[in-house]
Structure 1
Amino acid sequence: MDHQPPPFFKRGPAPLALLSFYLALSIALAVVDARFRTLEILRQGIGAVTQPLQQIAQAPARFLADAGERISTATSAQDDNDRLRRERLEMAPQLMRTQQMEAENARLRRLLGVSERQAGNAHVAEVIRTARDPFSRRIVIDKGLQDNVVAGQPVIDDAGIVGQVTRVFPFVSEVTLITDKDQAVPVQIVRNGLRSVVFGLGDGRLELRFIPANADVQEGDQLVTSGIDGIFLPGFPVATITRIERDSAYSFARIHCAPTAGVENFSEVMLLDERKTKPLPDELSERSDDDSRSTDRGSRLKKRRAGRD
C-alpha cells in the first residue's frame, strides 16, 4: 500500500538543504564579486533604480528638517534684531551725551586757546604670521612701504592697544606686541590720573613699574595711554590691574596687569596714522641746547681733572 502524499501536497527539498545551497551560492557570489568585480554593473543598476525611491522616502524628513532650520534661523535673526535694537536704544543717551561733551570740549578748548587733540585715523591690516623668534612677541602684517606704513605707528584692535610697528618691508611689516619684554608704553590710571609706564613680561602679561608702594592703586583699575611719549594717542585702553604685591622692603610695588586688547588672539588689526608732534618753542629749544652745552662742558672739565690726577 502506497503511503506517499498526493502530488498536490508533495514537498520539495528539505529546508536544511535549501539553506546550505543558498548559503554556498551567497559565499560564491561574494567571493567572485570581491575578486573580479563582476556584479558592479548590477549593483549600479539597482542603485539607479532605488535612488529615486530613497529620495521620495527621505523627502518628508528632509522637508521637516529644512523647515525646522528655517524657523530656528528666523527666530535667531529676530532675537538678534531685537537685541541690537535694545542696545541701540540703551546706547542712544550715552552717544548723545558723548557728542554733546565733545562739542562742549571743543568749544572750551577754543575759548581757552588750547590746541585740539589729534584724531586717530586707522587702516585695517591682516595678521599673516608670527615672528620666527619664539622668545619675542611679534607679528607680521600684510601692509608695508607700498601702503605708507612707517616704523613707530601704533597698532590697535577693537579693544585697545596691541603694539607698535618696529620694522617695515616693501610688502609686510613687523609689529612688536605690548607684551614683548622690550616694549614699554606710558600709561595713566583712569580713576586718579596717576601716570607710569607699563612693560611687557614676554609671557602675555604686563607689569606696571615705578609706582610707590603706598600709591593709590587698586586691583581692577583701568590703564590707558597717557600720550606723553609722542607715539600713542592719549586715552586708548592698554591693560587692567590684576594683582598688586606690596613689600615694605622695596620702594616700589610690584603690579601685574592683563592687556585689554586681544594681543594673542586676533586676525585683523588697525594701524593708526603716525602722530605728528609739534616742535618745541624757541625758548625751550634754546634752553635744551644750553643744557646740552653745559653738560658737554662739565664732562670735558671732569675728564681734564681726571687726567691731571
Structure 2
Amino acid sequence: MDFANTPSFFRSGPPPGARLAMAVAASVALLVGDSYFGLMEQAREATSLALYPVQRAVNMPAQAMRHVSDFLSSQTELKQENTALRTRQLEMSAQLSRLQTLQRELDEVRKLNGIKSSYHQQAQMAETLYTGRDPFSYKIIIDKGSDANLKAGQPVVDASGLLGQVTRVQPLTAEVTLVIDKNQMVPVMVARTGQRAILYGYGGGVEIRYLPQSADIKDGDHIVTSGVDGVYPAGIPVARVTRVERNQGATFARIATAPLAGVQQTRYMLVLGDKQAPPRPPEPAPIVKKSRGGKKAAAEE
C-alpha cells in the first residue's frame, strides 16, 4: 500500500501503543469515577432517552404480533363462552318450563284431592289422554273406563268447576263431553238468588237461555249446578255471567257466561260417582165419589 498519498491527519498523532494506553487509562478513570461518583449516570439517562424511540420502533412488530394474538385468542374464548352460555340458557329455560308445568300440575292435583275429600260419594281421578277427532264437538278421552267401574252420565269436574259428563265408556278409556259442546245442557241456578235456569253449550262456550227479562241476574253472578236433574250434585261451580242484555220487545234476556273450569287445558280431573236420586213418590190414588144411587164411581183425573 502506498502511504505517500495518505492525508497527513491520518498519520499525525501519537503512535498506536500510546493511544491504546490512553484509551485504557480513560476507561479505567471513567469506570472508577462512575462507580464511586456516578459521573456517567446523566449520560446514560440522556442516551437512554435519545434511544427510546428507536427501542420502541424495534419492539413494535413483536408487540403488534402479541396484541393480535391476544385479540384473536380473546375473541375465540369469548365466542366459546357465549356459545356455552347461550346453550346453558336454553337448557335452563327448558328446565324452568318443565318445572313450571310440573308445579302447575302438582297444584291442580292437590286441589283435586281437596275436592275429592269434600264429596261423600266415590270420586276417581283421571287424566286426559287426547281430544276427540271431531273438530266440531268438544270431547276428551280420559284414561279410565269400565275397568274402573265408570258409567255413562257420571259428572266430571276439575279444580275450578264442572267440566262435563261421561258419555261413552270403553274397557280402558272413556269419552267426556264438555259443557261447551253444543249438545250439552246443565240444570243450574244463580248462586246469589237461587234462580233456576238451563245452561246450554253452543260449541266453544256456554250461555243461559229462556230467562225472562225481569229475572234477577247481573254481570259477575256465579252459576252453580242446581241438582234437580239427579245427575249433577248441587252446588258445583259452572260459569260466571259476563254480559246481560235486556232488549225492548224481546221475551227473554240474553245472558252470556264464561265457563269456570279449564275446558280447553285441564289435564287432571275427577269423575264423581253416580248420584243416587231418591225414588219418585207413588202416584196418588184416584179420588172416589159416591153417586146419588149409592154407587161409587172413579172421578176423572
Please say whether Structure 1 and Structure 2 have the same fold, judged by a TM-score greater than 0.5.
yes
C-alpha separation in 2, matches of 1:171 and 1:249: 52
Match of 1:286 in 2: 283
Matches within 5 A, 1:253-264: 253-264=253-264
The correspondence of residues 26-175 of structure 1 with structure 2, limited to 5 A, is 119-175=120-176
CA contact (8 A) 1:120 1:233 kept: no
TM-score normalised over the length of structure 1: 0.54
* Distance in structure 1 (CA, Å) of the matches to 2:228 and 2:174: 25
Q: Which amino acid aligns with 1:214?
A: S
Deviation at 1:279, TM superposition (A): 1.1
Quick one: distance in 1 between partners of 2:239 and 2:265?
15
Q: Return the alpha-carbon distance in structure 1 between the equivalents of residues 182 and 200 of structure 2.
A: 7
Q: What's the offset of the Cα at 1:248?
A: 2.4
Deviation by residue 1:145-165 (Cα, 9 ceiling, x = unmatched): 011000000000000000000
Please name the residue that 2:25 is paired with: none
Give deviations 1:95-118, integer Å, cap 9, x for gaps.
xxxxxxxxxxxxxxxxxxxxxx97
Give the superposition deviation at 1:286: 2.2
Radius of gyration: which is bigger?
2
Give the aligned length.
188
Question: What is the alpha-carbon root mean square deviation over aligned residues?
Answer: 3.4
Corresponding residue for residue 51 of structure 1: none
- Unaligned stretches of 5+ residues in structure 2: 1-76, 97-117, 287-299
Q: Secondary structure at the match of 2:266?
A: coil
> AA paired with 1:224?
V
* CA contact 1:185–1:198 (8 Å) conserved in 2: yes
Whole-angstrom distance in 2 between the partners of 1:251 and 1:241: 19
Whole-angstrom distance in 1 between the partners of 2:164 and 2:188: 14
Q: Deviations over 1:125-172 (max 9, x none)?
A: 111111111111111111100110000000000000000000011111
The residue aligned with 1:224 is 224
Partners of 1:197 and 1:214 lie apart in 2 by: 16
Matches within 5 A, 1:178-217: 178-202=179-203, 204-217=204-217
Q: Looking at secondary structure, tell me which structure has more strand per residue.
A: 2
1:270 equivalent in structure 2: 270
Greater helix content:
1
- CA deviation profile, 1:31-54 (whole Å, cap 9, x unmatched): xxxxxxxxxxxxxxxxxxxxxxx9
Report the CA distance between 1:215 and its aligned residue: 1.2
Taking only the aligned residue pairs, the percentage that are identical comes to 44
SS in 1 for 2:274: coil
Q: Structure 1 counterpart of 2:126, which letter?
A: A
* Rounded Cα–Cα distance in structure 1 between residues aligned with 2:146 and 2:120: 23
